Amino acid sequence: MTAIAASLQPKDHYNTVNHIALIDYGMGNLHSVAKALEKAGGTVSLVRDADKLKEYNSIVLPGVGAFRDCMHTLKESGLDQAIIEESGKGKPFLGICLGMQALMSTSLEHGLHKGLGLVAGSVKPFPDTLPAMGYKIPHMGWNDVAFAADQAIHPVLTPLQGQQVYFVHSYYCAPDNSQHTLAATSFGGFPFACAIGHDNIVAVQFHPEKSQKHGLAMLQSFIQWKL
């Protein structure tokens, strides 16, 4: 175990009910997310044990990579059911990148695969027309965050109004309920949900830990979010 990983393990003198569970299932740049959360004012522990998740009142699911591998790993460890159960208790929950996609009902990445089903909808590939128009996939780099004029901005996302954030992804989330799309981004003229959620769940397709001060401000808003 590295020194950084060891420093993020639960300590006996910590009251784990008061700090953030960063789910560690072997996929994602956990150290960058953990350090960003800490810089934003959070106290963070990596959690690999499904039974331990109930000890925390705030949960973050990060991730990069393939949807199929993500779900396989979560199911193997029992973290899939733990996430469903603990988020169902109303705990503040943040999904990041692949952690956002895992919340959906299904994904079409490398076949049809079942997700956690916490947000009804599907993960889909970008249209084939985009590469033909000169837009490279994955969608990578800085892009705008847009909010609907007729919908109040989610309290976790308010620091992103009028800002750009950093993306790296080849698939996008398509919620069944348009009210579950909290913010959108356009790639080559194709709009997609860059933030989704409802109730105690919020998730973002971009990487707040790579989005400089505005990403950190968003993480701080999540840490301070009062339901």
Q: Is residue 194 annotated as a catalytic residue, yes or no?
A: no
Q: Is residue 97 annotated as a catalytic residue, yes or no?
A: yes
**Vertex 225: Cα angle to 224 and 227 (nearest 5):** 140
Residue 142 and residue 165 in contact, taking contact as beta carbons nearer than 8 Å: yes
Cα separations in angstroms, 117 against 76, 83, 124: 17, 11, 15
Helices (runs of H) and strands (runs of E) counted in the chain: 7, 13
Q: Is residue 207 annotated as a catalytic residue, yes or no?
A: yes
CA R_g for the chain: 17
Distance CA 183, CA 12 (A): 39
Rounded to 5 degrees, φ, ψ at 39 are -65, -30
Please identify which of the residues 113, 169, 180, 207 carries the catalytic annotation.
207
Please identify which of the residues 19, 86, 97, 154 carries the catalytic annotation.
97
Catalytic residue list: 97, 207, 209
